[in-house]
Amino acid sequence: QGMAFNSVREVAALDCLGRFLTALASSPLEQAFVQCEPPVASGITCDVNLTAEPHICIELTGVPFQPSDEEERAAEKLGGDEEEDEEDEDGEEEADEEDVEEDGEKDGEEKDGGKDGKEGGGSEGDDDEDEPDWFAGDLLLQKLESELRKVHERLQAGDEQTVAELRRAVRKERISRQESFEDGPSEFLNEALCPHLIFNQYPGSLAHGASGEGGTPQLLRTIAARTEALQSL
């Protein structure tokens, strides 16, 4: 909060923080939400959105959804379940015709297999019922806040493993920026120009080093700062 959209070092620091939190296999949020059993989500990302008032966006994908009874009834009214039932009935009729041609022993084995399958399906349903409903209230947000608080406490305490992972994330971010600068040295100009063109006149924007001398000197200083930062990597 209160960060300027053209503050090069602060934006770079937040990019490193986002990589540390989510982008590595050993990242704390990756471990807490994805690499766990059962998984809370199939993926998690952390991005810095450079708007007039910059902010961090943490996005979770593939969070399991458990529909309520009312939602299931509403889905049935839409006809989705009826089409599936018709397909199942057609498949059962074809299977019955094939079973008539089979011998009795094989038919008995198939029935036993079907029974086992139903029992297995029931156990899966029980497992689903045991999982928490992450869309109920602020349950997901509370877990996210709890995990971020744990990371903050470990960093403040100087936990060796956490600090080592943070330094690893910084090294990876530095390498990524070096590669981008080598592949397209002029591409970063778009990132420097666009925020000024779009947000500099926005009433709520926060520009680093704002003064009464106009936008052009500010813009030139921002480009110079970005160039110096990239060349010093």
pTM of the predicted model, to two decimals?
Answer: 0.61
Domain with residue 165: its CATH number is 3.30.830
How many separate domains does the chain show? 2
> Domain residues for 211?
8-64+137-231
Domain contains 2 = no
Cis before 195? omega within 30: no
User: Which DSSP state fits 44?
Assistant: E
Tell me: the pLDDT tens digits for 149-188?
A: 999 999 999 999 999 999 999 999 888 888 887 877 777 6
* Among 47, 55, 52, 2, residue whose Cα is nearest residue 22: 47
Tell me: the pLDDT tens digits for 120-132?
A: 444 444 555 567 8
- For residue 58, list its beta bridge partners: 46
If asked whether residues 144 and 120 sit together in one domain, one would say no
If asked whether residues 144 and 48 sit together in one domain, one would say yes
